[in-house]
Amino acid sequence: MKIHVLSAVWKRPEITRICFEGIKHLGLNATIAISEESMIPLCDEFGFDYAMVSNNLLGRKWNYGLRKAKGHDFDYLLILGSDNLISDCLIDRYKEYDFDMIGVKDLYIFDSGSKKTKYFKGYSEEMSIGAGRLINRKVLNSVDKLWGNWLKQGLDTNCSAKLKKEGFTEKVIELNGSVVLDIKSSTNIHSFDVFDGADVSNSVLNKLPEKDLLFNL
């Protein structure tokens, strides 16, 4: 199974660097949609391909990156924000399924300011969160875009609805010991406090090799 990562970055270079470390720890390569020339050296340092595009309208930015990513050889595309980390055991779990798109229902949220971690149970039983979604290449060969170009937010819901309309299936699983982490800072669209969920011990992050880097932010 060949996996390629698609991500999009904006500001927060210190968090982006940690997430790039996470991609490398997974042994994966990536295409990054960037909007700042200052991000080019970071992409070059990690050996990631990149596409320069305006940060205005996130849907358009992600679709632009997707078009560049399609030029790479892969079987599945892994969607990760520049503030997302996942454990390698989640990839192992994904390999147990044959699917059009698979993702997790729930995730952990880490606040870079307070260093607190929260558990978020997700949107619903039928829709995965955007972080860590894995999409089959055959889906990408059939659709030109994964998101509406006009979107400033709500990309997860839009993508799920679009693929369902096109006749593709979405498999939603629970973490069950795996980790998907969303790192919050003052730059995020949705802040740490917006999400309902209980505070949990930071020990849940032990499966992430980048854990120590998080606490040095």
Evaluate whether 6 touches 78 at the Cβ level (below 8 Å): yes
**25: which 2 tokens?**
């720890």
Whole-number pLDDT of residue 194: 61
Give per-residue pLDDT as tens, 120-130.
999 888 999 99
Give per-residue pLDDT as tens, 51-90.
999 999 999 999 999 999 999 999 999 999 999 999 999 9
Give per-residue pLDDT as tens, 134-186.
999 999 999 999 999 999 999 999 999 999 999 999 999 999 999 999 999 86
CATH assignment of the domain containing 57? 3.90.550.10
What b/e sequence results for 31-46 when a residue is b if at least 16 CB atoms lie within 10 Å of its CB, and e otherwise?
bbbbbeeebeebbeee
**Beta partners for 131?**
none
Residues spanned by the domain of 64: 3-214
The helix/strand/coil state of 77 is strand
Give per-residue pLDDT as tens, 188-209.
555 556 666 778 999 999 999 9
For the chain, what is the domain count? 1
Mean pLDDT confidence for 18-42: 98
Place of tokens 């992600």: 62
